[in-house]
Amino acid sequence: MWIFRVFALRGDADQRPPPSSQQESGHRIRADLTTIKDFWRMKVTVARSLLIGTFLGILPGTGSTISSIISYNEAVRSSKTPEKFGTGVDEGIVAPEVANNAATGGSLVPTLTLGIPGSGTTAVILAAMISHGLTPGPLLFTSNSELVWGVLAAFLMANVLMLVVGLTAIWMVVKVLSIPGSVLNVFVFLLCVMGAFGINNNLIDVWIMLIFGLLGVVLEKYDYPLMPLVVGIILGPMIENALETGLIIYGSFWPFVTRPIGGTVLVLALIALAFPTLKHLYGRTFQRTN
């Protein structure tokens, strides 16, 4: 993600208008809240992002970052005006945020039912349960049902409080956009360097970040999408470890296809790959018939 941010710095510098031009035009940066009417207009995007976030949240180790990226990518692919994404269009904001919040709730499913943390946050919850002598799993719902309902109630209250805090803080956070890009990007770049160095306390990671940041600029110049690269960087080590574990247990690749969960994920991936092509062919056929 530090690599992605370094690449995005160039786009911010190119796209953000200078504060002087905003003042000359009399433009004021303000927060526009999304209304219920706007959500109803984007109901398909909201429903799709909700399903993606919940499903990926249930899968251990994926987390909200992956669900947000995939949800945004699917919103772009299914949009009739994909060129508007990246300019602040409502669907581009709602899609990743809905998936992000849905993944948080989905990550509780494997944590409470199987004792497998679905994210870093649920890993802390799992450790707290174990330290108090509780055993997360199916028996938790029968032996300590009041605790389970307490966790669910706390999760519901957290979402309500998050809405209140968000509505209160947005009027202050939006003021960040009034900071000149040349000043803000310097601080962001320093945070990127600190984050890359802090992973292993090694300067090599900083050079890797800079090299891949330049790679992102080249990819953008030739109209290559950056999201698949980011997803590959995040999921690559997880997939390698899971593949190695699966091969050790089963001794072949067939269980990845024949078992219900693996087969379902594979079918969904094939549908996601084939959908844009089928949509394009259907559109051309429909135009010819008319």
Give the tens place of pLDDT for each residue, 55-91: 888 877 666 778 888 888 888 888 888 888 877 788 8
Which pLDDT belongs to residue 80?
Answer: 82
| Residues 53 and 139 placed together within one structural domain of the fold | yes
| Domain extent for 212 | 1-18+180-234
Q: Is residue 279 part of a domain?
A: no
| Residues 118 and 147 placed together within one structural domain of the fold | yes
Q: Is residue 99 part of a domain?
A: yes
Q: Is 35 left (phi over 0), alpha (psi -120 to 50) or beta?
A: beta
Spatial contact of 67 and 56, defined as CB atoms under 8 Å apart: yes
Q: Is residue 196 part of a domain?
A: yes
| Residues 191 and 228 placed together within one structural domain of the fold | yes
| Residues 118 and 11 placed together within one structural domain of the fold | no
Spatial contact of 125 and 112, defined as CB atoms under 8 Å apart: no
**To 10 degrees, what angle do helices 63-78 and 43-58 make?**
150
Q: Is residue 273 part of a domain?
A: no
Cβ burial of 237 (10 Å; 0-12, 13-18, 19+) is: exposed
| Residues 93 and 191 placed together within one structural domain of the fold | no
Picking from 131, 147, 177, the residue at the C-terminal end of a domain is 177
pTM equals: 0.62
Q: How many domains does the chain have?
A: 2
Per DSSP, 128 falls in state: H
Residues of the chain with pLDDT under 50: 19-27
